[in-house]
Structure formats: structure tokens, C-alpha cells
């Protein structure tokens, strides 16, 4: 069996997506996602110039060998562009293998560990009352777990706050828009949001919060401690994780569960965090961390330390990644939760898929493969549009982490 063609499809049905389609001499094809939010065309070029020429003629059944070829063979290891390109290939190859086996992907991975996958939705508002109402809407929709973010007085366009809709899209400008940050103001405000949420809705639902890399370890520890009475499911990205040791400071001071990893691209980004039990949930996902072949290694290492998965699932992860993630979540023994930000109707139409939402959970389909396809004619109607994530500056103009 041979790979006879591989093409990169770029489309923007509401936001940009980079999709790889690998075709074989047996007529079976596979689909992979390589989207890197705000830097999409770098992955397109990596794939077209440096990966596709090597793939032609290879045996698509040799998923592991092709992964090692692209990882070790490049000499230059790791990084978001490389690992997304590898992920796109890996997803497409698992899709092909599962289609050939006539099995939904979870069966090939080892079979179902659960019937459905708990997801969390994104509730947000410009102030505490609006966020409390938004959480209520998610509860009415059946969600069991909800992430809550709020605007903060004195902070321009605080992270995670949309524009009055149930979903929001952060990459929204042809040049990066400038948002603000002030840790003192956030530390005053965020605990009050969760106090109000617990007063209003009680303790039955899981509540989550994303710090989006804004706090120092000491500030993050302080926030975690202040949030303890509200029993969060997790506090995410409370401090940047390039220095994995930083989490030790947070960990020493708070029992609020910690999640990190949406920007990790290999097991090396998480190794010390996992082995020192500094986190509770690992957020690496299929497109970010080199595909299913590598993500399952991260999950297996995490399982030794009772750390559970919580795959990133924002809108910049295409339905192809969501399909793969749901098969992974259905199999992985140490599953925790899956993030779920709904895509636009246009995106859903370009990427026909068989997963469905029901009662606060996503359920992956039974179609052989990962269950997500691309309608290329429709995709062609939505050409690429440059779109950046925002940047963040402190009140005095200092550049900060968005
Ligand atoms: C976020 C994302 O989903 C999350 O937890 O941190 O919205 C993130 O900002 C985007 O995926 C960036 O592309
Ligand atoms: Mg996040």
C-alpha cells in the first residue's frame, strides 16, 4: 500500500483552518488538522515544502515509523510548527488505518473505556452578573461543567470575554488587537465571580477558570488559595510553564486542582510537571502534541501519577481534531474532561462529522475512521483571511502574556 497524493487545504469558514488530506493507491484517504492559530501559513509551508514530498510512496500503514521519520529525521526537533505538521500526518494515517480496519478509531486504540465524554463549555460576560447569567444558560443546555471568565473593571478586553454570544473567537483582527492586564484588579475580582456562582447555583456543577498564563507563581498560588472555598474542577494555565519548576510554588500553597498544557507540543514540556505531580490535568491535545501517536505517550506517563487528561478544544482546533480527540477520550483510561467550544455553522458544514452533543457530553460516532471529513468544494468558498490573536499590555505599556 502506498501514499499517492497529499494536499493541504486552507479555508476560513468563520476562522482559518489548515487541513491535510492523504490519498492512497487503494482509494482510501485520511484527513488531518494542522491549524496553528495566528500562524497558519507556516504549517502550510512546512507541510507542502518539507513533508508532502517525503510522504509520496510511503506505506501509510507504518504510522509509528512515519512519525519517527518526521520527528527524528528532520534533525530539528519539537516546536509548534513541526509538531502540528506531524500531527496532521498522524491523524490522517490513523484515519486511513481505522477506515481499512472498518472500525471507529477508538476501537483501534484499544476500545471504549466509557460511553460518553464529559465536556465543559465557555461562559463569559462583561461583568460578574453577565457571567453568572451565561453560566445559567449553559446549565439549561445540560452542561455539567462550565468554564467561567469575566470582564474586570479597569482591564481593557479581559481574556476570555466574548461579545454577548454563547461562543467567542479570540483571533479576530488582521493585525493583533491590544488588550490590557492588571493582576491586582483580577485578583480582586475573580474570587467574587466564583463566590456569586456558588451562591447562585450551589456546588453540583463543575466550575473551571483559565488564568491564561497571566500570573507569577506567587500570584497564582494566592489566586488558587482564594478560590479554594469554591471547589473548582481546575485552575488552568495559572502561570507560564516554560519553567516547569514554577508549578512547585503554586502547588505548595493551594489544593485548587491545576491544569496546564494547551501550548505544549511534546512530552518533554510536561515531563517534570507530571513526574513531580505538580499538576492534576494535562491539556495537551492531538493537533498540538504531534497527533495520537505522541499524545497517548503523554497520557500513559500521566496515568502513572494519577494525572488525568483535559484536551484543549477551543475553536482553533478544527472538527478534525475534535473528532480525533473524542475517539482518544473514549479510549484513554485516565480521562478527565474535554473542552468544547462550538464551531460556527459554516465550519460544521465544511467539516461533516458524526460526533454529537447530548446532556453535557459529546459522543463520538461509529463511522470507520475518526468520523470527520472535509467538503472541499465548500471549503474553496471560504479563502484564507489573515487573523491574529490579541496581545496584552500592562497599564504602563509593558508587554505581557496574552
Ligand atoms: C484558551 C484558548 O481554550 C482555552 O483554554 O486558552 O481560547 C486559547 O486562547 C486559544 O486556543 C488560542 O488559540
Ligand atoms: Mg486555556
Q: Residue with the nearest Cα to atom 2 of ligand 1?
A: 314
Q: Residue with the nearest Cα to atom 7 of ligand 1?
A: 314
> Which atom from ligand 1 is nearest to the alpha carbon of 212?
6
Rounded to 5°, the CA angle 330-331-336 comes to: 65
Q: Classify residue 143 by burial, with Cβ atoms within 10 Å: 0-12, 13-18, 19+.
A: buried
Q: Give me the active site residues, please.
A: 159, 212
Q: What's the pLDDT score for residue 162?
A: 83
Both ends of the chain: CA-CA distance in Å? 46
Q: What's the pLDDT score for residue 390?
A: 96
- DSSP 3-state percent helix, strand, coil across the chain (nearest 5): 40, 20, 40
pLDDT band per the 50, 70, 90 thresholds, residue 144:
very high
**Cβ atoms within 10 Å, residue 177:** 16
Q: Cα of 51 to ligand 2 centre, how many Å?
A: 29
Residue range 366-387, pLDDT digits in tens: 999 999 999 999 999 999 999 9
Ligand 1 neighbour 40 (Cβ under 6 A)? no
3-state SS assignment for residue 104: strand
**Averaged pLDDT of the chain:** 97
Sketch the domain layout of the chain as residue ranges: 3-103, 109-400
Q: Cα of 380 to ligand 2 centre, how many Å?
A: 30
Write the CATH number of the domain with boundaries 3-103. Answer: 3.30.390.10
Q: What's the pLDDT score for residue 166?
A: 62
The candidate with the shortest Cα–Cα distance to 265, out of 81, 127, 114, 94, is: 81
Residue with cell 453568572: 132
> Which atom from ligand 1 is nearest to the alpha carbon of 317?
11
Q: What's the pLDDT score for residue 308?
A: 98
Query: Rounded to an integer, what distance in angstroms lies between the CA atom of residue 286 and that of residue 67?
Result: 13
Q: What's the pLDDT score for residue 29?
A: 98
Q: How far is CA 168 from CA 14, 38, 149, 287, 339, in A?
A: 11, 16, 12, 20, 14
Write the DSSP assignment of 174-192 as a string of letters.
SSPPEEEE-HHHHHHHHHH
Mean pLDDT of 265-284: 98
Residue range 22-79, pLDDT digits in tens: 999 999 999 999 999 999 999 999 999 999 999 999 999 999 999 999 999 999 999 9
Can you read off the three cell numbers belonging to residue 300? 500513559
Q: Cα of 223 to ligand 2 centre, how many Å?
A: 16
Ligand 1 neighbour 183 (Cβ under 6 A)? no
Ligand 1 neighbour 95 (Cβ under 6 A)? no
pLDDT band per the 50, 70, 90 thresholds, residue 165:
low
The candidate with the shortest Cα–Cα distance to 217, out of 187, 252, 250, is: 250
Q: Does domain 109-400 have CATH number 3.20.20.120?
A: yes
pLDDT band per the 50, 70, 90 thresholds, residue 163:
low
For residue 382, how far is the Cα from the chain centroid? 23
Alpha-carbon Rg for the chain, nearest whole angstrom, is: 20
Q: What's the pLDDT score for residue 363?
A: 98
Q: Cα of 210 to ligand 2 centre, how many Å?
A: 6
Query: Rounded to an integer, what distance in angstroms lies between the CA atom of residue 353 and that of residue 376?
Result: 14
Q: Residue with the nearest Cα to atom 4 of ligand 1?
A: 314
Mean pLDDT of 118-138: 96
For residue 326, how far is the Cα from the chain centroid? 12
Q: What's the pLDDT score for residue 167?
A: 65
Neighbours of ion ligand 2 (CB under 5 A): 210, 262
Name the DSSP letter for residue 74.
Answer: T
pLDDT exceeds 70 at position 250: yes
Mean pLDDT of 186-204: 98
Probe residue for ligand 1, chosen from 212, 213, 317 as the CB with the greatest number of ligand atoms within 8 Å: 212
Which residues have a Cβ under 8 Å from the Cβ of 99 and sit 6 or more positions away?
A: 28, 30, 368, 369
Mean pLDDT of 346-368: 97
pLDDT band per the 50, 70, 90 thresholds, residue 291:
very high
Query: Rounded to an integer, what distance in angstroms lies between the CA atom of residue 22 and that of residue 24?
Result: 7
Query: Rounded to an integer, what distance in angstroms lies between the CA atom of residue 183 and that of residue 178?
Result: 17
Ligand 1 neighbour 369 (Cβ under 6 A)? no
Query: Rounded to an integer, what distance in angstroms lies between the CA atom of residue 308 and that of residue 299?
Result: 8
Amino acid at each position: 500500500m502506498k501514499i499517492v497524493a497529499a494536499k493541504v487545504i486552507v479555508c476560513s469558514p468563520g476562522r482559518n483552518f489548515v487541513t491535510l488530506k492523504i490519498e492512497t493507491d487503494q482509494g482510501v484517504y485520511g484527513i488531518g488538522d494542522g491549524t496553528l492559530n495566528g500562524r497558519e501559513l507556516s504549517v502550510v509551508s512546512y507541510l507542502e515544502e518539507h513533508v508532502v514530498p517525503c510522504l509520496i510512496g510511503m506505506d501509510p500503514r507504518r504510522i509509528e515509523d512515519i512519525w519517527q521519520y518526521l520527528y527524528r529525521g528532520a534533525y530539528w526537533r519539537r516546536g509548534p510548527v513541526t509538531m502540528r505538521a506531524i500531527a496532521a500526518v498522524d491523524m490522517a494515517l490513523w484515519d486511513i488505518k481505522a477506515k481499512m480496519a472498518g472500525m471507529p478509531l477508538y476501537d483501534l486504540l484499544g476500545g471504549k473505556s466509557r460511553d460518553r465524554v464529559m465536556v465543559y463549555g465557555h461562559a463569559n460576560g462583561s461583568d460578574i452578573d453577565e457571567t453568572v447569567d451565561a453560566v445559567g444558560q449553559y446549565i439549561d443546555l445540560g452542561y455539567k461543567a462550565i468554564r467561567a471568565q469575566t470582564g474586570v473593571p479597569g482591564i481593557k478586553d479581559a481574556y476570555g470575554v466574548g461579545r454577548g454570544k454563547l461562543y467567542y473567537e479570540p483571533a479576530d483582527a488582521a493585525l493583533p488587537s491590544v488588550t490590557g492586564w492588571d493582576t491586582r484588579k483580577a485578583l480582586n475580582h475573580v474570587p467574587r465571580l466564583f463566590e456569586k456562582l456558588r451562591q447562585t447555583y450551589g456546588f453540583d456543577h463543575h466550575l473551571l477558570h483559565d488564568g491564561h498564563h497571566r500570573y507569577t507563581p506567587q500570584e497564582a498560588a494566592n489566586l488558587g488559595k482564594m478560590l479554594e472555598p469554591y471547589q473548582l474542577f481546575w485552575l488552568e494555565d495559572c502561570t507560564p510553564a516554560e519553567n516547569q519548576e514554577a508549578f512547585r510554588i503554586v502547588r505548595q500553597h493551594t489544593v485548587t486542582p491545576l491544569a496546564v498544557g494547551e501550548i505544549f507540543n511534546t512530552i518533554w514540556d510536561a515531563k517534570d510537571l507530571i513526574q513531580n505531580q505538580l499538576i492534576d490535568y494535562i491539556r495537551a491535545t492531538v493537533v498540538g502534541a504531534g497527533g495520537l501517536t505522541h499524545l497517548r505517550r503523554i497520557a500513559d506517563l500521566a496515568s502513572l501519577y494519577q494525572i488525568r487528561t483535559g484536551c484543549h478544544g477551543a475553536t482553533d482546533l478544527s472538527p478534525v481534531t475534535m473528532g480525533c480527540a473524542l475517539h482518544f477520550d473514549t479510549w484513554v483510561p485516565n480521562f478527565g474532561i474535554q473542552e468544547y467550544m462550538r464551531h460556527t455553522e459554516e465550519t460544521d458544514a465544511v467539516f461533516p462529522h458524526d460526533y454529537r452533543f447530548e446532556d453535557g457530553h459529546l459522543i463520538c460516532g461509529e463511522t470507520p475512521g475518526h468520523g470527520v471529513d472535509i467538503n472541499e468544494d465548500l471549503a474553496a468558498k471560504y479563502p484564507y483571511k489573515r487573523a491574529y490573536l490579541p496581545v496584552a499590555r500592562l497599564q504602563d505599556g509593558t508587554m505581557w502574556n496574552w
